[in-house]
């Protein structure tokens, strides 16, 4: 990382960033090029690791790729604002998190916990989702082994 002043190291700040991002981009290993897909997600911090829960159909290319190689990379970001700086250039306030980890299916008895985190993430805490319908999904847990976060917030224009 070139700009050390933009590095996020505080677990709480990283978790807060992950809680406001709209989607989680997951990169699966697919030969020469990665296969990247956006997901709705729930996030938690468990036993010293960031953990994400995503749900998907029970068939498809991503399922085949996961079976071949459970190692994934993730990215989540949010842009808060674009603004001019001293009439010289345009910048933006943002935060982002990158990570590497492993993906695995979870047991059906863990689905409610995962879905609770997903609906909480999107502001629907306590929403009465169809518990029979979620049994038709596959829910995955991504546990990060490594991660990094970056942020940049609006600079006071008067300093220019």
According to DSSP, the residues that pair with 26 across neighbouring strands are 37, 74
Identify the band that residue 158 occupies on the pLDDT scale cut at 50, 70 and 90: very low
Instruction: Report whether pLDDT(96) > 90.
Output: yes
DSSP labels, 86-122: TTTEEEEEEEEEEEEEEEEE--GGGHHHHHHHHHHHT
Confidence label for 84 from pLDDT (cuts 50, 70 and 90): confident
Q: Please state, in angstroms and rounded to a whole number, the distance separating the CA atoms of residues 138 and 86.
A: 50
Name the least confident of 27-36, 81-90, 97-106. 81-90
């Amino acid at each position: 990382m070139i700009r050390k002043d933009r590095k996020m190291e505080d677990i709480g700040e990283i978790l807060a960033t992950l809680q406001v991002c709209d989607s989680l981009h997951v990169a699966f290993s697919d030969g020469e090029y990665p296969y990247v897909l956006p997901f709705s997600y729930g996030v938690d911090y468990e036993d010293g690791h960031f953990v994400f829960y995503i749900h998907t159909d029970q068939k498809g290319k991503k399922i085949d790729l996961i079976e071949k190689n459970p190692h994934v990379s993730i990215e989540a970001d949010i842009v808060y604002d674009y603004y001019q700086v001293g009439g010289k250039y345009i910048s933006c306030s943002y935060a982002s998190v990158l990570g590497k980890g492993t993906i695995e299916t979870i047991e059906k008895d863990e689905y409610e916990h995962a879905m609770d985190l997903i609906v909480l993430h999107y502001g629907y805490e306590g929403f009465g989702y169809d518990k029979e319908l979620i049994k038709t999904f596959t829910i995955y847990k991504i546990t990060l082994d490594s991660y990094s976060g970056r942020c940049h917030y609006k600079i006071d224009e008067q300093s220019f």
